[in-house]
């Protein structure tokens, strides 16, 4: 039976997010969170009764219309109009796993009690998550400042019976899902539409998932590189601690140590080697993989902070009797780190493709393209083409989004982060790197066939045996696309970290 996660003011970590999603936990609010939400909502409405002064987005218009006053009788209409008017997303649908996490993160942000929403609104978002009702959200439309306005509008349209959702493989109208569960549409009160739409939950959901997948890739890249190193008959001396102790970048030290531990007990390492040095793509694994690992560590810190932040506007501070307008919705920290992580991910893929190329080159006793009778058979020639094309696509995707900006809302919102674009690109890059590493894995394990009867280390032989249980050796040409797909799933699912504990 699936467990339950209580949303509270306790920090939510990336590993906890992985557990919530992987184990299909349901969500509930802690008693503390419920009290904070109710207190904030009550304070807001008491404030509106006693203080008629303009408060942005509550009794004023939005963006460049912030100086336009709205009468008390129109406050609910204002919030409903906000959600409807901002639902201007387009393009491809946001993947369900991202939408699912957006729901978690929106509730987490509201649960701190700085947003003034009704408890019933938060509980409806929880019901969507727990019932696996995923609003249809579109990838394009967010500037990454003022929050992810258009995507979050689509996320929240079904609360009021509009928009569309996916439920049990069906695409349904918002009012249809309300009918199925006998739910009444939420009547948005003062500030609620703004609290729901202001926020960085699209960027943060994409980024958190990219971080989680990148963490798996960081281990997979080292293991696959170690397999290639063994298959290409490389030296282990570039990984000795003396080298890395005099240039002690954290990721570099960690990667070098991983590789040495993975090679421990290898018969292939005891084999005499004629070369003085190996190509950079083997010799510089600690320096390249390690730098990417350091970038991942930085990005994880940024997203852990964001996951546990309040990013709507204005913010309500009942204890201080304050309602303050600010810019916590601006996605600049996320945009910069997503661009950084995309580049780091792409480098894991770039150096991987170079190792694949070397394995196919017919050097060091390996046949050309890792196949008997090359010429009659093309062997692994074209998988390397595929990897090369993906590496080049990553180069194009890694053009930074965060250096761009464009003026919106008649000049009121005059600097934006483009963090949503950075997030969508990063999500594609991490998928691309999984594919590149999968192709290197195919080539490395195939190359090891030509080193038999010598064996690599016990740890790496476990990987080879698990992989060979899914993908057979290539003895003559066959259609390799199914092998690539199986290899991608292997990269995504195999517990690489367990080999190094």
Q: How far apart are CA 62 and CA 114, in angstroms?
A: 19
Instruction: Say which of 43, 56, 206, 427 is annotated catalytic.
Output: 56
Element (H, E) at 307: helix 285-307
Q: Classify 388 as helix, strand or coil.
A: helix
C-alpha closest to that of 256 among 294, 284, 216? 284
Q: How far apart are CA 63 and CA 239, in angstroms?
A: 56
Q: How far apart are CA 135 and CA 103, in angstroms?
A: 9
**Between the CA of residue 66 and those of 36, 61, 330, what are the distances in Å?**
28, 5, 18
Q: Are the CB atoms for 145 and 329 separated by under 8 Å?
A: yes
Beta-carbon neighbour count of residue 163 at 10 Å? 23
Q: How far apart are CA 455 and CA 444, in angstroms?
A: 13
For the chain, state the CA radius of gyration: 26
Q: Which residues pair with 69 in a beta bridge?
A: 60
Indicate if 385 belongs to the active site. no
Q: Are the CB atoms for 255 and 286 separated by under 8 Å?
A: yes
Q: Are the CB atoms for 113 and 36 separated by under 8 Å?
A: yes
Helix axes 201-231, 419-449, angle to 10 degrees: 20
Helix axes 381-397, 332-359, angle to 10 degrees: 160
Q: Are the CB atoms for 420 and 151 separated by under 8 Å?
A: yes
DSSP states along 105-143: HHHHHHTTS-S---HHHHHHHHHHHHTT-EE--EEE---
C-alpha closest to that of 446 among 398, 400, 381, 497? 381
C-alpha closest to that of 86 among 415, 414, 408? 408
Q: Are the CB atoms for 256 and 288 separated by under 8 Å?
A: no
C-alpha closest to that of 281 among 341, 232, 243? 232
| C-alpha angle 27-187-172 in degrees, rounded to nearest 5 | 65
The contacts of residue 468 (CB under 8 Å, 6+ apart) are 445
Active site positions, annotated: 56
């Amino acid at each position: 039976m699936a467990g339950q996660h209580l949303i509270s003011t306790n920090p939510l970590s990336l590993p906890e997010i992985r557990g919530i999603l992987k184990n299909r936990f349901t969500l509930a609010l802690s008693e503390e969170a419920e009290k904070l939400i109710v207190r904030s909502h009550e304070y807001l409405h008491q404030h509106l009764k006693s203080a008629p002064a303009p408060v942005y987005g509550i009794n004023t218009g939005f963006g460049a219309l912030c100086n336009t006053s709205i009468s008390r009788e129109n406050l609910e209409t204002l919030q409903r109009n906000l959600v409807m008017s901002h639902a201007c997303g387009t393009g491809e649908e946001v993947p369900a796993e991202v939408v699912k996490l957006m729901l978690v993160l929106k509730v987490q942000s509201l649960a701190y009690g700085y947003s003034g929403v009704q408890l019933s609104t938060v509980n409806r978002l929880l019901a969507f998550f727990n019932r696996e009702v995923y609003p249809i959200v579109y990838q394009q439309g967010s500037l990454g400042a003022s929050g992810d306005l258009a995507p979050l509008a689509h996320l929240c349209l079904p609360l009021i019976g509009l928009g569309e959702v996916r439920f049990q493989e069906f695409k349904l109208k918002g009012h249809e899902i309300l009918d199925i569960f006998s739910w009444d549409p939420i009547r948005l009160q003062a500030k609620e539409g703004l609290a729901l739409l202001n926020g960085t939950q699209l960027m943060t959901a994409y980024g958190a998932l990219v971080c989680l997948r990148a963490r798996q890739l960081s281990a997979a890249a080292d293991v696959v590189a170690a397999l290639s190193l063994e298959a290409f008959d490389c030296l282990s001396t570039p990984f000795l601690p003396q080298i890395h102790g005099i240039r002690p970048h954290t990721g570099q030290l960690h990667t070098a140590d991983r590789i040495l531990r993975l090679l421990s007990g290898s018969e292939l390492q005891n084999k005499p080697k004629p070369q003085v040095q190996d190509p950079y793509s083997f010799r510089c694994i600690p320096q390249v993989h390690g730098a990417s690992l350091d970038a991942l560590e930085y990005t994880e810190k940024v997203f852990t902070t964001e996951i546990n932040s309040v990013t709507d506007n204005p913010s309500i501070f009942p204890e201080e009797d304050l309602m303050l307008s600010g810019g916590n919705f601006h996605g600049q920290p996320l945009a910069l780190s997503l661009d950084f992580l995309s580049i780091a991910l792409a480098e894991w893929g770039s150096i991987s493709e170079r190792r694949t190329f070397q394995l196919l080159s017919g050097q060091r006793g390996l046949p050309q393209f890792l196949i008997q009778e090359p010429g009659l058979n093309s062997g692994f020639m074209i998988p390397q083409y595929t990897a090369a094309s993906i590496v080049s696509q990553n180069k194009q995707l890694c053009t930074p989004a965060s250096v761009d900006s464009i003026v919106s809302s008649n000049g009121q919102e005059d600097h934006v982060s483009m963090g949503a674009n950075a997030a969508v690109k990063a999500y594609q890059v991490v998928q691309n790197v999984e594919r590149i590493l999968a192709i290197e894995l195919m080539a490395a394990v195939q190359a090891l066939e030509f080193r038999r009867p010598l064996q690599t280390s016990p740890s790496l032989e476990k990987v080879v045996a698990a992989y060979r249980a899914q993908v057979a050796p290539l003895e003559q040409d066959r259609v390799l696309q199914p092998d690539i797909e199986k290899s991608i799933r292997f990269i995504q699912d195999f517990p690489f970290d367990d080999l190094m504990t």
